[in-house]
Structure 1
Amino acid sequence: MQTLRAIILAIAASNISLYQLDIAIGRLEGGISPDMLVFPRPVLQYIQSHPICLTSLCLSVSPRNRIRPNGELVGDLLGFITLFPGLQRLSIEFNYRDEREHFPVISQKLRLPGLRFLGIGAVRCTEDELVTLLLSHKDSLEEVSFALVDIISEGGSWQSLLATMRDNLSIRVMTMDDCLSADKDIYYRESESDDAAYLKSFEISGLRQDWTDAINGITIGRHGSRHG
Structure 2
Amino acid sequence: MVGLLRLPNELLAIIFGGLDAQGFSALRLTSKYTKSATLPAFISRYFQTRYIMLSRLSLENLVEIARHPDFGPAVKTLELCTDHFVEFPNSYFHTARHEGDILLAIEEGRSPPAALVGSIDDAHSSGEEEDQSPGEEGRGTDEGSVSSQASYETLLDKVAYTSLWEEQEHIIMSGLAQAYITQALISLPNIEAAVISNMHRPWGALAHGRQTGLPPTTALDDYMEVQFLGQVLRITLTAIATSGAALSSLAITAGVLSREAIAPDILRPSESHFQYYKNLPPSLTELTLNVSAEATRGAEDRWADDLSAFIGVFRQLTQLDLVITPVDYGPRVDRLKQLAPKLQIPNLQCLGLYRAYCSVQDLGAFIVRHKATLQSVTLVRVGVSGGIGHWRSLFALIRDHLPRLELSIKLCTAAGLVVLCRAEHENGEEFEDSFDVGGSHEAWTTAIEVIETR
Write the letter of the residue equivalent to 1:201: S
Distance in 1 of aligned mates of 2:254 and 2:404:
31
> How do 1:69-84 and structure 2 match up within 5 A?
69-84=299-314
**CA 1:195/1:154 → structure 2, altered by over 3 Å: closer, same or farther?**
closer
Pick from 86, 98, 104: which aligns with 2:316? 86
| Greater RCO, 1 or 2 (C-alpha within 8 Å, sep 6+) | 1
How far off is 1:40 after superposition? Answer: 2.5
**CA 1:196/1:151 → structure 2, altered by over 3 Å: closer, same or farther?**
farther
> How do 1:1-228 and structure 2 match up within 5 A?
1-27=230-256, 28-48=258-278, 50-53=279-282, 54-64=284-294, 66=296, 68-96=298-326, 99-153=332-386, 157-190=390-423, 195=429, 197=431, 199-221=432-454
Write the letter of the residue equivalent to 2:238: L
Write the letter of the residue equivalent to 2:319: R
How far off is 1:39 after superposition? Answer: 2.1
RMSD across aligned positions (CA): 2.2
TM-score between both structures, scaled by the size of structure 1: 0.86
Is the 1:187–1:196 Cα contact (8 Å) retained in structure 2?
Answer: no
Runs of 5+ consecutive residues of structure 1 not aligned to the other structure: 222-228
**CA 1:150/1:101 → structure 2, altered by over 3 Å: closer, same or farther?**
closer
Stretches of 4+ aligned residues off by more than 6 angstroms: none
Is the 1:204–1:211 Cα contact (8 Å) retained in structure 2?
Answer: yes
Distance in 2 of aligned mates of 1:65 and 1:104:
15
Is the 1:115–1:137 Cα contact (8 Å) retained in structure 2?
Answer: yes
How far off is 1:158 after superposition? Answer: 0.8
Distance in 1 of aligned mates of 2:409 and 2:316:
26
Match of 1:224 in 2: none
When the two structures are aligned, how many residues end up with a matched partner? Answer: 217
**CA 1:141/1:147 → structure 2, altered by over 3 Å: closer, same or farther?**
same
More helix per residue: 1 or 2? 2
How far off is 1:156 after superposition? Answer: 5.6
**CA 1:39/1:187 → structure 2, altered by over 3 Å: closer, same or farther?**
closer
Q: 3-state DSSP class of the match of 2:356?
A: strand
Is the 2:317–2:347 Cα contact (8 Å) retained in structure 1?
Answer: yes
Distance in 2 of aligned mates of 1:155 and 1:95:
23
How far off is 1:94 after superposition? Answer: 1.6
Is the 2:244–2:281 Cα contact (8 Å) retained in structure 1?
Answer: yes
Larger radius of gyration: 2
Moved more, 101-110 or 135-144: 101-110
Q: 3-state DSSP class of the match of 1:157?
A: helix
Is the 2:380–2:409 Cα contact (8 Å) retained in structure 1?
Answer: yes
